[in-house]
Amino acid sequence: MPFDLLKASLHAPTRTSVPKAPPHTLILTASKFFEFSPRAGSEIAVEKYTGRELRVREGAARAQQEFQEQVLGPALNDLLLHPNWDVFNIILPRYYWNPEAVNSVLEQDAAWCARRAEFKAQQQLKEEQEKREAEKQQQEDEEQQQQQQQQQQ
């Protein structure tokens, strides 16, 4: 299976059936979270500490890498000797990926990814504009408040 097709199979509009590897060797080694959903004109409190999305910090990433190398890797090597992998190796050649169908899926996926990137860019511009407008309004309010204080004196 071409790697690009595998990536595309994970996107909503181009979901594809893929060969199922023996589940006892499937290990989540990384994750990516969606960005926090902004509220119009307000900041999200947790964003001050984590940024726009959750991420593994540097120290935790080092510990994770060390665990993968010293514990997980050796254990996974033993699991690859399991008889289920022999069955998987027999079944795998039965899968055929028609090049024309693959190209069609990849084209659809590329178009979807482009639309998604454009949407994200527009959302970011909108958020930046809203933030600038909120800052401008706050500055105007502060100036008006200062003028009122000066008039009262």
Task: Give the three-class secondary structure for 53.
Answer: coil
What is the pLDDT at residue 38? Answer: 67
**Over 80: is that where the pLDDT of 36 sits?**
no
Q: Please provide residue 94's backbone torsions phi and psi, each rounded to the nearest 5 degrees.
A: -70, -20
pTM for this entry: 0.52
What is the pLDDT at residue 29? Answer: 77
Cβ(57)–Cβ(50) under 8 Å?
no
CA distances from 116 to 49, 109, 123 (A): 27, 10, 10
Domain holding 40, by residue range, is: 3-152
Q: How many domains does the chain have?
A: 1
Length of the chain, please? 153
pLDDT (tens digit per residue) in 102-145: 999 999 999 999 999 999 999 999 999 999 999 999 999 999 99
> What CA–CA distance (Å, rounded) separates 114 from 126?
18
Other beta carbons within 10 angstroms of residue 8's beta carbon come to 22
